[in-house]
Amino acid sequence: MKLSQRVLLALFGASCVYLLLLAYPHPLFAHELTTGGITVHSTKPIPEAMKTTVERARARLDRSPLGAGTRGVHVFICDSPWLFGLFARQNYQVGGVADWLVGQHVFLRESDMQNDRLIGPSGRPVAADRPLSYFIAHELMHVANARAVGRWRYARMPQWVDDGYADYVARDIDLGDALSKMKEDARELDPRRSGLYLRYQLMVAYLLDKRHVPLDELLTAPPPRQAIEARVVALAEW
């Protein structure tokens, strides 16, 4: 067998192993807890307080008509950077990722499970307005979105719709304040500068709450982003 053939065979084998790991990462996580239709896995013992955190996430998810699509799901808390990087790949700096294509699992960074806090890339807890329960709900909404529209349509869903609706469900914000900051071009309303989805959440809230666009229409046939941004900015007040 030629060297090039051996290399291709090795790459193919490694790819198959990795896909299997994405579909069934459970053996790497020794501990688990199930409540509210969500099973949390961790390499470290899971404290009793984690039940409350998961129940907070469940309460958020059940506000959405797609909430049923987040039952029987698995959330894996990766207690080391290398383990999270294994599943997050190029997105290793984010708080969590949803593998919507293969296993449809959620992988989160190291967390302070006792206190409902996610540990950011800096090693410090993420701000309290985005607790661990928020990250669980947000990432699971990506799974719910994918299950609602199918993998092919989900792959083409604009980020502002996907992340905007995930935050619409997972996070409560002062929409009037967000509108004012959007008009001022504040940093936190620019996802590229802040890494936050407040702008997208505001746009989704405008379509669902003010324009009463059906959710399935928003997810499958959203209007152009620029048009919605212009309409939101043109609002006198929320």
Tokens of 61: 């998810």
Residue 2 has pLDDT above 70, yes or no: no
Gap between the Cα atoms of 198 and 191, Å rounded: 8
Shared domain check, 122 and 40: yes
The string of pLDDT tens digits covering residues 102-124 is: 999 999 999 999 999 999 999 99
Q: Which of 121, 149, 177 is the last residue of a domain?
A: 149
- Average pLDDT score over residue span 212-238: 96
Q: Is residue 206 part of a domain?
A: yes
Q: Using DSSP, state whether 231 is helix, strand or coil.
A: helix
| Average confidence score pLDDT of the chain | 94
Shared domain check, 169 and 127: no
Q: How confident is the model at residue 127 (pLDDT cuts 50, 70, 90)?
A: very high
Q: Which of 32-36, 69-73, 142-146 has the lowest mean pLDDT?
A: 69-73
Burial readout 138-174 (b: 16 or more C-beta within 10 A, e: otherwise): bbbbbbbbbbbbeeeebeebeebbbbbbbbbbbbebe
Nearest to 91 by CA among 103, 109, 105: 109
Gap between the Cα atoms of 176 and 202, Å rounded: 9
Shared domain check, 173 and 120: no
Phi-psi region of 236 (alpha: psi -120 to 50; beta: other; left: phi over 0): alpha
pLDDT of residue 17: 83
The string of pLDDT tens digits covering residues 8-18 is: 666 666 688 88
Shared domain check, 33 and 123: yes
**What is the full DSSP assignment across 92-159?**
TTSSEEEETTTT-EEEE--EETTTTEEB-TTSSBPPTTS-HHHHHHHHHHHHHHHHHH-HHHHHTS-H
Gap between the Cα atoms of 120 and 94, Å rounded: 8
pLDDT of residue 93: 92
Burial readout 176-186 (b: 16 or more C-beta within 10 A, e: otherwise): eebbebbeeeb
142: domain CATH number?
3.40.30
pLDDT of residue 16: 85
| DSSP type of residue 90 | G
Shared domain check, 144 and 30: yes
The total domain count for the chain is 2
Compute the CA torsion angle 171, 193, 96, 47 (nearest 10 deg). -60
